[in-house]
Structure formats: structure tokens, C-alpha cells
Amino acid sequence: MGICCEENKIGALMRATTFEIEELVAGDGAWWPGFLGRIAERGQEALKAERDERGWAWSALWAWIVADVRRYEAYTQALQAYVQDKALETVLIADGSGDADLRVGTRFKLAERVDPVRWGSRKHHTVEVVGDLGERLRRARERVLPDDVSDAVVVVPARDEI
């Protein structure tokens, strides 16, 4: 069987999938919210089950989901609910281990993900300036700013230059 025939079969499956989804949504207004609920509970497993049960092409199902902004947002929220549930389960799994370090570490990692402003790692950056900073700033200002604006720029001297 040639590539052309395979492409025709895939195209036909995609068109059939899209048609069936549209028909399903038009005839059963509860299908999409129910599908989202299954995704929130089971994640990718729910997507695969629906696709396999109905014989749908994944690419067509995905194209249908992302074709509408509100539909894609609802899908994303369902996945976020699933991931949130899985993240919270890590605490239960760690608690079952009996390892105090694992229990504490898991809670900190979850807190870091849920509230990165309060619990996220703080990275300190060091900048090393080599050479005369004042000269570098002057040259940079001349390259970037037009002459009439450069007069408004104030270069603050370093502490050791004061």
C-alpha cells in the first residue's frame, strides 16, 4: 500500500472524527462537560479511552479542542485539575514512606509549585563588571540614544567615584 493511500485513510479518519464530534456535541450537550470531568479525574487516560472507544483520530480530536479558545481553556482547566490532584497525592505517597525527610521535602516541593512567590527557590545572581563601568555606560548611551535624548540621561557614579 502506497503512502498516498495511507494519507487518504488518515485524512478520511480525521474528517470522520471531526464530523462525529460535531454531531455528538450538537446532539448531546452533556458530552463535552462530562468528557472534561473525566479528564479532570483521569487525565490522559480519559483522552485515550474516549479516542479508542470511538475509534477517533487523536490529531482530529486535538484539532477540534484547540479550534475554539473557550473549549481549549476548559480543556486546560480540566488538565490543571487533574495535575493538582496528582500533586496533592504526592503528600499521601510520601506520608506512607515513613521517611521524614521525604515527607518534609515533598511538602516543600508542593508549596514551591503552588505558591512560588512565598516558597519558590530564591536565586541570587552575581554580576562581575570588568573594566571601566563609566566608560562602558557612556559608549552604550551613545550607541542607543539619539543626541537630543542623551542629555536627559543621568549616569550615577559608583560609590568609589564619589
Q: Summarize the confidence of residues 18-30 as an average pLDDT.
A: 88
Gap between the Cα atoms of 82 and 71, Å rounded: 17
Assess if residue 36 is contained within a domain: yes
Domains identified in the chain, total number: 1
Task: Say which DSSP state 131 is in.
Answer: S
Assess if residue 98 is contained within a domain: yes
Assess if residue 156 is contained within a domain: no
Assess if residue 160 is contained within a domain: no
Task: Give the mean pLDDT of the chain.
Answer: 80
Assess if residue 149 is contained within a domain: no
Cell for 65? Answer: 479542542
pLDDT in the model for residue 6: 63
Please determine, for residue 146, whether its predicted confidence score (pLDDT) is greater than 70. no
Please give the residue range of the domain that contains residue 74. 3-119
Assess if residue 58 is contained within a domain: yes
pLDDT tier at 97, thresholds 50, 70, 90: confident
pLDDT tier at 2, thresholds 50, 70, 90: low
Please determine, for residue 123, whether its predicted confidence score (pLDDT) is greater than 70. no
Cell for 95? Answer: 506520608
pLDDT tier at 108, thresholds 50, 70, 90: confident
Provide, rounded to the nearest whole percent, the portion of the chain with pLDDT above 70: 73
Residue 110 near residue 91, CB atoms below 8 Å: yes
What does pTM read for this prediction? 0.60
Assess if residue 48 is contained within a domain: yes
Assess if residue 153 is contained within a domain: no
Q: Summarize the confidence of residues 15-38 as an average pLDDT.
A: 90
